[in-house]
Amino acid sequence: MYSEDEIDPHRGQAQATASANRSLYNSIDPFAEGRPEGEAWGAQEPSAHTGSDAGTHADSDTGTHADSDTGTHADSNAGAHTGSNSGAQPPAGEAAAAPLLRFTVGQMVDRSKRTPGFTFDVMTTLPSFKARRYAGVERNQIEFERLQAHLRATYPECLVPTLGPGTTASKYVGDYQNDRIVVQLLQQWLARVAAHPLLRQDYELRQFVEAPFAFNPALTSAPALSVAPAPSAGFFSWGKARARVARSANPTAFERQLEATAENLDAFQRNLGDVRRWHGRLARARARLALDVRDAGTKLVSAGMVEHNAGLARALKRTGKSLLHVGACAQGQASLEGSRAVAVADVYTLACDNVQRTLGSRQAIFTEHQVAARQLERRRQAVAELRVSASIGAAQAQEALAELAAAQADADSKRARAERVDRVLAADLHAFETNREGDLRALFGALGRDQLQAERQVLGELRAALDTVRHAGSAGSSSTALSG
């Protein structure tokens, strides 16, 4: 049967994804006001670096898949404990370059536990980090989920990448676990977080790397907005329609684009559920086929063991062994179809929910800005009325001015946030669509390659069995003629 190395189950996409994201942020720079034109975010991570980059060694066949060695690289200073500084300095070229942040997932550790753990190395030149290299950092799936929850709560206007499930087991393949897929999905997530100009600067992300013990961020749920986002139906909406994104009587071009994006992702999410379900059914059907083929092969081998005719016995045993091999190939295909496609579908189901939630947060942020602007106008009117009043006292005037100053500060803050949210969303949606296209192309490309390779192995095995049967038949005819 083919090995996991022969048919890579996911082939990871972290390097190409990170490079694509960096190139996107080269052309769209909405994150820093006042940045001089021509100074792009891509300068943060020089493209010359290879080797330890997140998901480096892109597969030449796919262009978006990481090599099979992804997740097995060890930093030259490996052995240091979590957050410890090895004392090594980055190469001279890195010291002069703009800040970078690079994660390299090593391997999954202690699968026996209920929650899988992972080790990873970090290399960075961000000034907020205490060291430049961290080797052997260990975190479990729950801690990664806490970091994701913190990022989403802290940056509701950003499309935070969706973390992989931490397992490949599903109802379609039982207890089948493919750690390779899990590690590659995690590598992809870390690379995308590290490529985001806002998320990479987060304080808790640094704590995630440097904390010597368990990681538990202070904020894992979004603070309540003064105006709650409009509710929208989830994936299992049972036919409920989602709220439209653009509610303005005169929506801008960008608001119309957001509305179209929401409707497109809503339809995509529904279709994705069907794709997931049919892949699962295909995996179950192929698993049943594999079982039946192996049973047939076992029976033929048993028949060959008791057959007195030497030629026929050889043919029976060879055919039976071929069927056993074919059954093993079918079982491997079933495991991959019921795990890899299901895992990617689950990731993008949650990612679409996250996009819809972010678009709802944008509406709430703009509504907050409008409410703050109206409140500021009321305060200005109140101050104007007091100025023309003949009976105003000093304390009353001081209180009115203080309220006006607070309203002005609040309105300025809400306006700045509202102005930033569209710039952030423009870049994040662009990156999301590029990643979505690349991930699905990579998924179905890998499925096609795996299918072709498995079918070639099956055909080769059956051809060899047919040659054995023909040879046994020729030998039997010759022996019969000689005995006659």
**What pLDDT, on a 0 to 100 scale, did the predictor assign at position 474?**
64
The whole-model pTM stands at 0.69
Choice between 250 and 52, residue whose per-residue pLDDT is larger: 250
- Is residue 475 pLDDT above 70, yes or no? no
What integer is the mean pLDDT of 290-319? Answer: 91
Average the pLDDT over each of 221-225, 372-376, 441-445, 446-450 and give the range with the smallest value: 221-225
CA distance 436 to 348: 8
pLDDT band at 38 (very low <50, low <70, confident <90, very high): very low
Choice between 47 and 255, residue whose per-residue pLDDT is larger: 255
CA distance 356 to 233: 9
Q: Which residues pair with 80 in a beta bridge?
A: 78
pLDDT, tens only, 253-280: 888 888 999 999 999 999 998 988 888 8
- Is residue 115 pLDDT above 90, yes or no? no
Give the DSSP letter string of 439-456.
HHHHHHHHHHHHHHHHHH
In 3D, which of 17, 61, 1 has the Cα closest to residue 445? 61
**% residues pLDDT > 90 (the chain):** 33
pLDDT, tens only, 407-424: 999 999 988 888 888 888
CA distance 389 to 158: 47
Q: How many C-beta atoms lie closer than 10 Å to residue 68's C-beta? A: 17
Please provide the average confidence, as pLDDT, over all residues in the chain: 75
**Backbone φ and ψ of 304, nearest 5°:** -65, -30
What integer is the mean pLDDT of 420-437? Answer: 91
Torsion of CA 341, 189, 221, 354, to 10 degrees: -50
Type and span of the H or E element at 123: strand 117-124
pLDDT band at 431 (very low <50, low <70, confident <90, very high): very high
Choice between 187 and 23, residue whose per-residue pLDDT is larger: 187
What integer is the mean pLDDT of 363-380? Answer: 89
What integer is the mean pLDDT of 30-51? Answer: 35
pLDDT band at 462 (very low <50, low <70, confident <90, very high): confident
